[in-house]
């Protein structure tokens, strides 16, 4: 429906193109739904005002939804079906690779922020199902049936076309676009230095003044680039600069993060849900004990561990982080 054939032009069928649409649009959207189902549990909260969330990620994705609805409505009113398809692609990409990814820690929380994230995600998914209904009717129906409640209509195809509108009073769309651009440049800079993202760095400097004083966006940038500090320098010769000096402290933190990642992989292999608490036993060389002690709280939080025992592990598995060997055993609590 987004191809030249819609306008009566020639089209060479491409299996690769079909696979790309399946992966980038259908697959990503299905993953977002699965992620939501993983964390929603028995949460039936409906009283939070979506438009009053204090979290900039919620504000941003709702503004992007409003923007996408407007684009699609205009295109369909003008009978431009092919042009209507592509904003869907962009929106699903934003929802999956930025909103959900940057909100992961919120979903693991048990406070009001988790409720807000869940409600925002559900609302966005339901509105997305309505948007894609004319283009992908079965996918739209599948999403709707997974999310609908008793008072909802029986089918997405009985719903009215979305009319959700939201004004961008604080230029959230502009600021978030700038933040994501900085992240993109920073990741390229890291790649050129051949430093993995899991290795923390000390500082990033940026030339742009758009986000000066915008602490909430600074946090997103430092988290995504894995740097400790952000500063602004209008005299920079380039748009962004990363401090490539890696101290022993930063190396140790990188080891801890890699250890967390590998423990999380082991949790998945054991079929554990993100909410399942574990008891973690770790055996390692005496020289590595300092790292475990220094980053114990981060490891517990990052692996949903109720406790960490430092003891000899007989029936465990070996994981390697920066050439350091750890033997671990995971027990569900």
Same domain, 26 and 77: yes
Instruction: Decide: residue 233, CB within 10 A, 0-12 exposed, 13-18 middle, 19+ buried.
Output: exposed
% of the chain surpassing 90 pLDDT: 63
Contacts of 140 (CB under 8 A, 6+ apart): 129, 130, 132, 133, 156, 157
Confidence at residue 122, expressed as pLDDT on a 0 to 100 scale: 94
Same domain, 209 and 193: yes
Domain end (from 221, 242, 263): 242
pTM here is: 0.89
Q: Is residue 28 within 8 Å of 96, Cβ to Cβ?
A: yes
Q: Is residue 221 part of a domain?
A: yes
Same domain, 225 and 264: no
pLDDT at 180 over 60: yes
Instruction: Decide: residue 165, CB within 10 A, 0-12 exposed, 13-18 middle, 19+ buried.
Output: exposed
Tokens of 4: 């030249």
What domain range is 288 assigned to?
248-332
Residue 257's pLDDT band (cuts 50, 70, 90): very high
Tokens of 136: 């992908």
Same domain, 9 and 154: yes
Q: Is residue 316 part of a domain?
A: yes
Same domain, 144 and 15: yes
For 177, phi then psi, to 5°, come to -60, -40
Confidence at residue 42, expressed as pLDDT on a 0 to 100 scale: 59
Same domain, 212 and 322: no
Q: Is residue 164 part of a domain?
A: no
Residue 17's pLDDT band (cuts 50, 70, 90): confident
Same domain, 17 and 114: yes
Q: Is residue 284 part of a domain?
A: yes
The 3-state DSSP class for residue 329 equals strand
Strands 305-310 and 278-284: what pairing? parallel
Same domain, 153 and 180: no
Structurally, the chain folds into a number of domains equal to 3
Same domain, 17 and 141: yes
Measured CA to CA, the distance from residue 196 to residue 182 in angstroms comes to 17
Indicate if the alpha-carbon torsion angle 87, 121, 226, 329 is positive or negative.
negative
Q: Is residue 165 part of a domain?
A: no
Q: Is residue 23 part of a domain?
A: yes
How many helices (H) and strands (E) are present in the chain, helices listed first? 13, 7
Residues 106-157: pLDDT tens digits?
988 778 888 899 999 999 999 999 999 999 999 999 999 999 998 999 999 9
Q: Is residue 166 part of a domain?
A: no
Confidence at residue 43, expressed as pLDDT on a 0 to 100 scale: 60
For 13, phi then psi, to 5°, come to -65, 135
Element containing residue 182 per DSSP (H, E): helix 172-193
Domain end (from 158, 192, 226): 158
The CATH number covering residue 153 comes to 1.10.730.10
Average pLDDT, the chain: 91
Tokens of 162: 């979305």
The CATH number covering residue 326 comes to 3.30.2320
Q: Which residues of 253-262 are buried (b: 16+ CB within 10 A; e: fewer)?
A: bbbbbbbbeb
């Amino acid at each position: 429906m987004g191809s030249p054939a819609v306008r009566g032009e020639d089209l060479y069928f491409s299996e690769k193109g079909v696979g790309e649409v399946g992966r980038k649009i259908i697959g990503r959207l299905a993953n977002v739904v699965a992620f939501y189902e993983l964390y929603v549990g028995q949460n039936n909260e409906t009283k939070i005002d979506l438009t009053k969330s204090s979290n900039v990620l919620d504000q941003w994705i709702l503004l992007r939804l409003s923007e996408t609805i407007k684009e699609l409505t205009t295109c369909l009113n003008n009978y431009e079906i092919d042009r209507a398809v592509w904003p869907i692609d962009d929106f699903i990409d934003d929802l999956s690779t930025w909103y959900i990814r940057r909100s992961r820690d919120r979903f693991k929380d048990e406070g009001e922020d988790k409720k807000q994230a869940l409600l925002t995600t559900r609302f966005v998914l339901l509105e997305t199902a309505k948007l894609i209904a004319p283009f992908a009717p079965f996918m739209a129906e599948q999403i709707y049936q997974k999310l609908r409640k008793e008072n909802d209509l029986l089918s997405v195809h009985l719903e009215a076309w979305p009319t959700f509108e939201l004004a961008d009073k604080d230029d959230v769309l502009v600021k978030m676009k700038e933040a994501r651009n900085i992240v993109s440049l920073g990741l390229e800079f890291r790649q050129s230095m051949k430093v993995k993202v899991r290795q923390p760095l000390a500082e990033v400097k940026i030339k742009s003044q758009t986000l000066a004083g915008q602490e909430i966006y600074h946090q997103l940038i430092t988290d995504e680039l894995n740097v400790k500090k952000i500063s602004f320098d209008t005299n920079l010769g380039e748009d962004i600069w990363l401090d490539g000096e890696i101290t022993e402290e930063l190396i140790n933190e990188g080891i801890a993060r890699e250890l967390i990642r590998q423990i999380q992989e082991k949790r998945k292999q054991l079929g554990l849900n993100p909410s399942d608490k574990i008891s973690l036993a770790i055996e390692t060389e005496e020289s590595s004990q300092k790292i475990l002690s220094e980053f114990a709280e981060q490891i517990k939080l990052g692996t949903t561990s109720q406790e960490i025992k430092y003891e000899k592990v007989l029936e465990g598995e070996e994981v390697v982080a920066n050439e350091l060997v750890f033997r671990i055993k995971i027990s569900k609590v």
